[in-house]
Amino acid sequence: MRATAGAPRAPRGERPHIDPGALAHTRARHPGAIAEAAARRRRRPLLGDSGRLLLVAADHPARGALAVGDRALAMADRADLLARICEALSRPGVDGVLATADVLDDLLLLGALDGKVVMGSMNRGGLAGSAFELDDRFTGHRPRDLTRLGFDAGKLLLRLDYEDPGSLRTLHAAARAVDAMARRQLPVFVEPFLCRRENGTLRTDLSPAAVAKSLAVASGLGGTSAYTWLKVPVTEDPDAMARVMETTTLPAVLLGGDVGDDPDAAYDRWRAALRLPTVRGLVVGRALLYPVDDDVTAAVDRAVALL
């Protein structure tokens, strides 16, 4: 029996309607439907013929990061979030999605992941704003979960503060996760940052020197780097970005990040960085799902054009 909530349908460029009651009904009555949908999912290679990759990121809520701009709870509306993801995934050139298990389970039930790259988010224990934010436990997908569900890759966040002992525990756990993914021949995307606390608030250091140092540390995790990719923030200076990317030969994707009130400048930085030899694509979240003008289709198509 195919027990799903029904794949969303909408005219081209319009946001589909998501029925949260139908999803809850399937989850309550037939929880095995998620595994059944995962088993049926049509898979594809990580990289297509173009050799490029564009993924939509939607793993923010599991860390308690629900804000978009001045909207504190924008991502707390799950039906709206799912509709935005489905709209983005329907656009030509979008390869797949990065999310936590709850979001991917919903997308499986909606039939939205056929022929898409599915990347599971692995460590979400460092809740935004918490005292233990840098002791980032692996509370999301485990390597064996990704294998069981037939997903295509995993992603881990590696935030390092030289003055916070929690960073060492995260660093050690990340290295063992890289080893476990390599044993399964599954790509793992490592997103490294150097951080520091200012008046109790965690700040990331996006200076070229800090980004280069974080890439060097991330590249050396585990017993092999054969299946390791890097997820890299883009510096404001294109020349500096070129120097930063000379730090490693690992394939990399660009982290979209917060584009603020000037998306044109962000797209220009992405365009320049995508010309670098080790950069293979983009992984973008709120900038595509919650653009300033709320036009998801236009934001996604613009990002696709960069590739």
CATH number at residue 185: 3.20.20.70
Q: Are 212 and 193 in contact (CB under 8 A)?
A: no
**β-pair partners for 68:** 71
Residue 121 lies in a domain: yes
Residue 16 lies in a domain: no
Token pair belonging to 280:
């293979």
Residue 17 lies in a domain: no
Residue 196, CA distances (Å) to 110, 166, 172, 258, 293 in order: 40, 12, 19, 19, 33
Residue 176 lies in a domain: yes
pTM, two decimal places: 0.92
Residue 295 lies in a domain: yes
Residue 3 lies in a domain: no
Residue 66 lies in a domain: yes
**Tally of domains within the chain:** 1
- The tens place of each residue's pLDDT in the chain, 307 residues long, gives 344 444 565 555 578 999 999 999 999 999 999 999 999 999 999 998 889 999 999 999 998 888 888 888 989 999 999 999 999 999 999 999 999 999 999 999 999 999 999 999 999 999 988 999 999 999 999 999 999 999 999 999 999 999 999 999 999 999 999 999 999 999 999 999 999 998 888 899 999 999 999 999 999 999 999 999 999 999 888 899 999 999 999 999 999 877 766 788 888 999 999 999 999 999 999 999 999 999 999 999 999 999 8
Residue 18 lies in a domain: no
* Range of the structural domain that residue 209 is part of: 49-306
